[in-house]
Structure 1
Amino acid sequence: MDQPTVGILHPGSMGAAIAACAATNAAAAVWCSAERSAASMARAEHFGLTPVATLPELLDRSEVVISLCPPAAAEGLAHDVARHRFDGVYLEANAISPERMKRIAGLLEPTATVVDGGVVGSPPVRGKTPVLFLSGPAVATEQIEALFADTAVQTKALGTEIGKASALKLAYASFQKTSRVLVALAVGMAREHGVDQELIEVASRRTDSYLSEPQYVAKTAARAWRWGPELDEAADALAAAGLPPEMLRAAATTLTRWHDVKDDGELTLTDALNRLVQP
């Protein structure tokens, strides 16, 4: 299909930037502005997305819909789309477990064609080039790949099995995000005993150690509201595979201590660590 219209559901910092890339190979990129925050509206305007008044209008206009939202909202959003019997390509690109991904596919098929997606990397701005992994029906996967051709979003197809892209995303996120939580715990423990600088010095002798970059803890705290649910999803995936989920559950619980500093770009390492020790 040449130049489809793309609908982006609930565009956050990742979703809006992803949609803007897709728009370079689309007739238009639309989003539903109803009941969205001023920040969402400003972000959508910045990325050149076209507002529509309602979800049914977005679905009627779009041949391809991209869902990028907090993990906990993914299934409810898919239910809303399913009620309107969307019959195009639905890219489920949230950080959710393969099991949830399959449930969502079951909700939308056979009316819609569902593609499983997993974004690895930062939003495609300021030279960042995330990879969008895809799995699902070949024709629909190829259509998604065409949308992102020659953009900052790289695509890689993993085959036709729904759940593969989600599994890869969560496998990577399990290490990437849990390791940052462990940094916070390690530096916090060392600080309690007055040896945090020594810990950082020891860690700096090793390459690629997050312990040598504890300033990342503040960024982790600001993102905790998103990362916690994602780790819960990853824990579900581990449990389904017969592997112990307790470490990821514990990391998600740790992240709840930072929920009141959502997206706080001014948070310092000291502030983050102080909040971590509060019950």
Structure 2
Amino acid sequence: MTVVGILHPGSMGAAVAAQASRSGAEILWCPTGRSSATKERALRYGLTAVNDLGELTERAEIILSICPPAHAEEVATEVAAHPFTGIYVDGNAISPASMARVYAILARTGATVVDGSVIGSPPSASKNTRLYLSGPSEGLMPVASLFAGSAVHTHLLPGDVGRASALKLSYSSYQKASRVLAAVAYALASDYGVDEELLDVAQGRTTSYLAETAYIPKVAARSWRWGPEMKEAAYALEEAGLPSDLANAAAAVMSRWDSLKDSSLDIPQVLDHLHAAQDGEPT
């Protein structure tokens, strides 16, 4: 039986860890300092309580860290204070640079550190979740085998730690920001009584812009006039007392494409312009 420790089992962490029990793993958690809601969740998922973090690190062969990203390094430091030499999976939504720091914290204790990213809703009988993994090869397969036949579908990425984290933030930077932008857009439409019409327009589309990569060069070629349009959107939002940060940010991004007016570059060339521009200056 593989023994797995889950740190701070929130709604996602507890659900992911519970899926590992399908392969026969025992799932440990430490109730010290945790809320009553967390304790109820751990009980519901059949997690085994231990006395303290020291017992968890002593018994666990694999530790899963799935917690709020602001606490990822702090949690890693707490684990590093104990003699843990097993596999440590950081499944938090942190940057590649933050992941590198987590790696450095745990690697010096002798642990095998795996970079993980969880994409999707908490796994259940009706929902599957993707777990992307990168890092040392000796750590990847033991983690992947934990979730064989479960609602957590693992995907191994070639390369070092940081790749799984980069994938997570690449996806969430669009997914989360687009949800917020949608809320702001509907707030503005609602102020003018055209929210139902906005919904009607939106329902004419059935795919995500994130999947329409071929459209990126078209956006770049039109940014010379779309950027000012976003500035006007920002003014309208400000007049309505709504946050204009996202609209202004979109305009700032488009300003990096000002020189590409009516161009026909390919995707790599267009994306290079985003990297090359400095201080908001077009290339």
TM-score normalized with structure 1 length: 0.73
Structure 2 residue runs without a partner (length 5+): 210-244, 251-283
Post-superposition CA distance 1:33-90 (Å, at most 9, x none): 0111111011111111001121111111101000000000111000000111311000
Check the 8 A contact 1:93/1:119 in 2, yes or no: yes
Post-superposition CA distance 1:223-275 (Å, at most 9, x none): xxxxxxxxxxxxxxxxxxxxxxx859979xxxxxxxxxxxxxxxxxxxxxxxx
Matches within 5 A, 1:27-42: 27-42=25-40
Change (3 A) 1:88 1:249: farther
Check the 8 A contact 1:174/1:248 in 2, yes or no: no
Change (3 A) 1:115 1:26: farther
| Equivalence for 1:44 | 42
Instruction: Determine whether 1:187 maps to 2:186.
Output: yes
Q: Give the 3-state SS of the residue equivalent to 1:90 in structure 2.
A: strand
| Equivalence for 2:7 | 9
Looking at structure 2, the residues matched to 250 and 192 of structure 1 have their Cα atoms a distance apart, in angstroms, of 22
| Equivalence for 1:171 | 170
Post-superposition CA distance 1:199-240 (Å, at most 9, x none): 111111121469xxxxxxxxxxxxxxxxxxxxxxxxxxxxxx
The percent of aligned pairs where both chains have the same amino acid is 51
Change (3 A) 1:248 1:185: closer
Post-superposition CA distance 1:97-151 (Å, at most 9, x none): 0100000000000410000000111111131111100001112101001101111
* RMSD, aligned α-carbons: 2.0
Check the 8 A contact 1:178/1:248 in 2, yes or no: no
Q: Give the 3-state SS of the residue equivalent to 2:83 in structure 1.
A: coil
Q: Give the 3-state SS of the residue equivalent to 2:23 in structure 1.
A: coil
Structure 1 residue runs without a partner (length 5+): 211-245, 252-279
Change (3 A) 1:98 1:45: same
Instruction: Determine whether 1:149 maps to 2:151.
Output: no
Give the drift of 1:160. Answer: 3.5
Post-superposition CA distance 1:176-211 (Å, at most 9, x none): 11110010010001111111111111111121469x
Looking at structure 1, the residues matched to 46 and 157 of structure 2 have their Cα atoms a distance apart, in angstroms, of 30
Change (3 A) 1:141 1:89: same
TM-score normalized with structure 2 length: 0.72
Looking at structure 2, the residues matched to 54 and 87 of structure 1 have their Cα atoms a distance apart, in angstroms, of 17
Aligned length: 214
Check the 8 A contact 2:72/2:92 in 1, yes or no: yes
Instruction: Determine whether 1:77 maps to 2:75.
Output: yes
Looking at structure 1, the residues matched to 49 and 102 of structure 2 have their Cα atoms a distance apart, in angstroms, of 25
| Equivalence for 1:62 | 60
Greater Cα radius of gyration, structure 1 or 2: 2
Change (3 A) 1:150 1:34: same
Letter in 1 for 2:169: L
| Equivalence for 1:115 | 114
Letter in 2 for 1:6: V
Match of 2:96 among 95, 98, 121: 98
Check the 8 A contact 1:138/1:160 in 2, yes or no: no
Looking at structure 2, the residues matched to 123 and 87 of structure 1 have their Cα atoms a distance apart, in angstroms, of 28
